[in-house]
């Protein structure tokens, strides 16, 4: 990439990367081409050593400056006046990337339920094609949380020496039966919606509301719900937490679609850095970047011990922990702790 590249600008850009090449998937299926929606902020230095690549969580999007505004923005840790910040909407997600409601070029109709199963490795490989398209030879920091952390770990293995720092937050090396079980319960809720199975963009919408309510119970710790959603008055019905969960379900169903949710939750279940690589420990030992794993002490979805495992098995690993009553969602909330941990990591690894 040269300094005249259209990507070397200081303002945010929203763009679509269209790949006409077939993407071979771990399932044995192929995508006959795909697109990824992505944003960029800032510009490359002449040394091209300031790329920050951010990966979003399950229902996130490419606008990292909005959902991670405590870390991304002018005068923040990831500052577009100093860094070239890239964030792409993951394959399968419904914010501009190829997903079940996209047109299947083989039929001219939306994929709907014929959209292939994706894995976190498939997602990483699609991002690798975007990186090559952008001409980015070196990534200073690859960072993501939850599903984004899983994909980041897969991509770190693929990138090898092309990434300097990999930051994996509230994630794991292989999805546990505990997490798969919660995800399956959510998909069962979607299946129970009488519209599920219809070739309709709104199919499964009510089921998605229930799925999100289930998910919220895994994203937050009981202490957080007790502190913020417990009723102070004596009552026998119409509890505050009930209204909260219904509101969260409706809010997601109005901005997301059940088919993408299904595909992305399945991808989370598939995550196994060791698949086909001699097992988890062998695969982790092959990651060459400096790795910071961050756990959350009261995370009930991705346990702190899972983050600790990554940090202990990669050659250049560091583990740090966020203390928070918010549970899993702390990686989207506890900016002061995240900033301190990240700054300390960079100082230790100069």
Q: Single out the residue in 267, 292, 315 at which a domain terminates.
A: 267
Structure confidence at residue 10 (pLDDT): 53
Phi, psi of 191 (to 5 degrees): -60, -30
Structure confidence at residue 3 (pLDDT): 31
For the stretch 147-184, what's the b/e string if a residue is b when 16 or more beta carbons lie within 10 angstroms of its beta carbon?
Answer: bbbbbbbbbbbebeebbbbbbbbbbbbbbbeebbebbe
Which tens digits make up the pLDDT trace of 211-227? 999 999 999 999 999 98
Which residue's structure tokens are 């990686």?
331
- Displacement of CA 70 from its chain's centroid (Å): 17
Structure confidence at residue 231 (pLDDT): 79
Same domain, 144 and 293: yes
Q: Single out the residue in 249, 267, 285 at which a domain terminates.
A: 267
Residue 27 bears catalytic tag: no
Same domain, 316 and 169: yes
Cβ-Cβ contacts under 8 Å for 316 (sequence gap 6 or more):
288, 289, 290, 291
CATH number of the CATH domain containing 190: 1.10.1740.110
Q: Starting at the edge strand that comes first in sequence, how are the strands of the sheet with 290-296 ordered?
A: 13-19, 34-41, 84-88, 51-55, 139-145, 163-169, 290-296, 317-322
Q: Are 170 and 331 in contact (CB under 8 A)?
A: yes
Residue 20 bears catalytic tag: no
Nearest to 301 by CA among 233, 231, 219: 219
Catalytic residue among 122, 193, 299, 329: 299
Range of the structural domain that residue 211 is part of: 178-267
pLDDT tens, residue order, the chain (350 aa): 233 334 444 578 999 999 999 999 999 999 999 999 999 999 999 988 999 999 999 999 999 999 999 999 999 999 999 999 999 999 999 999 999 999 999 999 999 999 999 999 999 999 999 999 999 999 999 999 999 999 999 999 999 999 999 999 999 999 999 999 999 999 999 999 999 999 999 999 999 999 999 999 999 999 999 988 987 888 888 899 999 999 999 999 999 999 999 999 999 999 999 999 999 999 999 999 999 999 999 999 999 999 999 999 999 999 999 999 999 999 999 999 999 999 999 999 98
Same domain, 54 and 118: yes
CA distance 4 to 13: 16
| Domain contains 228 | yes
Catalytic residue among 93, 146, 270, 288: 146
Q: Give 79's DSSP letter.
A: -
Same domain, 147 and 253: no
- Displacement of CA 68 from its chain's centroid (Å): 12
Structure confidence at residue 348 (pLDDT): 94
Nearest to 295 by CA among 338, 264, 336: 338
Same domain, 193 and 100: no
Helix locations, 139-257, DSSP H: 147-159, 177-191, 205-219, 222-229, 240-253
CATH number of the CATH domain containing 41: 3.40.50.1820
| Domain contains 58 | yes
Same domain, 225 and 90: no
Q: What average pLDDT does the chain have?
A: 95
For the full predicted model, state whether its pTM sits above 0.85.
yes
| Domain contains 341 | yes
Structure confidence at residue 4 (pLDDT): 35
Same domain, 114 and 20: yes
Residue 328 bears catalytic tag: yes
Long-range (24+ apart) CB contacts under 8 A made by 132-137 are: 133/17, 133/19, 134/1, 134/7, 134/86, 135/1, 135/5, 135/7, 136/1, 136/48, 136/51, 136/86, 137/48, 137/162
Structure confidence at residue 11 (pLDDT): 75
Structure confidence at residue 230 (pLDDT): 87
Catalytic residue among 43, 157, 271, 328: 328
Same domain, 121 and 111: yes
Between β-strands 84-88 and 51-55, what pairing exists: parallel, antiparallel or unpaired?
Answer: parallel
| Domain contains 330 | yes
């Amino acid at each position: 990439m040269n300094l005249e590249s259209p990507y070397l600008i200081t303002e945010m850009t929203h763009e679509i990367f269209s790949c006409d090449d077939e993407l071979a998937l771990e399932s044995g299926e192929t995508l006959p081409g795909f697109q990824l929606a992505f944003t960029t902020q800032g510009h490359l230095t002449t040394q091209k050593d300031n790329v920050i690549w951010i990966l979003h969580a399950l229902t996130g999007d490419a606008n990292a400056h909005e959902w991670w505004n405590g870390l991304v923005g002018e005068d923040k840790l990831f500052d577009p006046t100093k860094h070239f910040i890239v964030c792409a909407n993951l394959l399968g997600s419904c914010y501009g990337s190829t997903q079940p409601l996209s047109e299947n070029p083989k039929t001219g109709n939306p994929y709907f339920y014929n959209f292939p199963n994706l894995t976190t490795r498939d997602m990483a490989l699609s991002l690798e094609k975007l990186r090559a398209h952008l001409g980015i030879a070196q990534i200073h920091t690859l960072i993501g949380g939850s599903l984004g952390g899983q994909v980041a770990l897969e991509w770190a293995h693929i990138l090898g020496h092309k990434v300097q720092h990999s930051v994996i937050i509230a994630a794991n090396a292989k999805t546990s039966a505990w997490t798969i079980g919660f995800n399956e319960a959510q998909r069962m809720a979607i299946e129970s919606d009488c519209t599920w199975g219809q070739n309709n963009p709104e199919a499964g919408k009510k089921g998605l509301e229930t799925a999100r309510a289930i998910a919220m119970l895994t994203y937050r710790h009981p202490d957080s719900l007790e502190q913020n959603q417990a009723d102070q008055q004596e009552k026998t019905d119409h509890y505050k937490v009930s209204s909260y969960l219904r509101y969260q379900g409706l809010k997601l169903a109005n901005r997301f679609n059940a088919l993408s949710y299904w595909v992305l939750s399945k991808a989370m279940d598939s995550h196994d850095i060791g698949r086909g690589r001699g097992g988890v420990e062998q695969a982790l030992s092959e990651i060459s970047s400096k790795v910071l794993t961050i756990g959350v002490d009261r995370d009930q979805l991705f346990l702190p011990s899972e983050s600790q495992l990554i940090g202990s098995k990669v050659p250049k690993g560091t583990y740090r922990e966020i203390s928070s009553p918010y549970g899993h969602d702390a990686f989207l909330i506890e900016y002061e702790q995240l900033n301190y941990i990240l700054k300390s990591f960079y100082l230790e690894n100069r």
